[in-house]
Amino acid sequence: MPPGTERIMPRGPLMVDIAGLQPTPEERQMLCEPAVGGVILFARNCQDARQVHALCQEIHALRSPPLLIGIDQEGGRVQRLKEGVTRFPPMARLGQIAEQQGLQIAQSLAYDWGRLLGAELRELDLDFSFTPCLDLERGVSRVIGDRAIHRNPEWVAAIAARLWQGMSDSGLQGVGKHFPGHGAVTADSHHDLPRDERPRGVLEEDIRPFRDMIRAGIPAIMPAHCLYPQVDPEQPAGFSRIWLKDVLRQEMGFTGVIVSDDLSMGGAHGAGTMTARVDAAQQAGADLLLVCNDPEGARKAITHVQKRGEASGAAILDSLAGTAGKSLSESDRVHYIREIAEISG
């Protein structure tokens, strides 16, 4: 779309995806719907850094203010873009370094990691990454596994805060996940609804990193598609007013963006149809709703939100837009890349 011809409309509350390396004409039309506020990129959308940069520029040019563009770029198993950028190890490596060399060294490396990650993604015009993972490694959840920094909540919070600070200094926004903790369940919420039977007092250990990250200024938090029946016997965290409004907002004082996990995941199906999931997530307190890998579901969600006349997103979503950040010198970039290569083994 030529400069100056973008459509002017507020960002809507839905974050959707596209099928390939660039949007089709039909997908461009979808991205210009008022209910849409952002796009999430998956590996299928990422050939290399140059192509992703062109894709982000094309998406940002569609509307004003630009759609938000996010990506899962954690490292290890969960790194969507691999070519033309640094390949990061799983975040558990930072916890291992804390054990071997001390927490302060792990924190220093975490900051450098965040600075490099942030600089690389901001240079490609990405706004945020769905990271850091704040779940505790309890040796139970395969889907979390080495995505978790460590089992010690104090270490997880301390390391994640420095990683997030590095990202923020580079202008990249972040999303802490999966509140109030996904590490103590065996089921994979992509396919099933996990149940964490522990009482609230025991869950406090898993909640600790989220409390600390709120104090550190993380702009967004993603709740888990997990049921915690000792706290809310009816609704998983992502659909629970108790968890999102009473605990996260009121008790913990979080004022940032609540980003739902993908409403197409198996753990969300108990809420009903796609339109029912959208309603339940919004009524619980979510601000930005992911609908991924389900084009028909995305269309239904968009139509439903727009029929209700609530397509415009809140100004709170502005906090997820990338910023200019501090420049990264070439010498620092080379140093950080070497550091990551060394800790990757």
**Nearest Cα residue to 218 out of 267, 266, 274, 179:** 179
80 assigned binding-site residue: yes
**Nearest Cα residue to 193 out of 230, 231, 234:** 234
178 assigned binding-site residue: yes
**Nearest Cα residue to 322 out of 175, 172, 221, 218:** 172
Q: In whole angstroms, what is the distance from residue 300 CA to residue 270 CA?
A: 17
Exactly one of 112, 196, 232, 261 is catalytic; name it: 261
261 part of the active site: yes
Q: What are phi and psi of 116, to 5 degrees?
A: -70, -45
Q: 112 is written with which tokens?
A: 């450098």
**Contact of 22 with 79, CB cutoff 8 Å:** no
SS3 for 128? strand
Q: In whole angstroms, what is the distance from residue 17 CA to residue 15 CA?
A: 7
Exactly one of 53, 169, 188, 190 is catalytic; name it: 190
Strands 78-79 and 128-129: unpaired
190 part of the active site: yes
177 assigned binding-site residue: yes
The binding site consists of: 72, 80, 147, 177-178
The binding site for substrate consists of: 72, 80, 147, 177-178
Catalytic residues: 190, 261
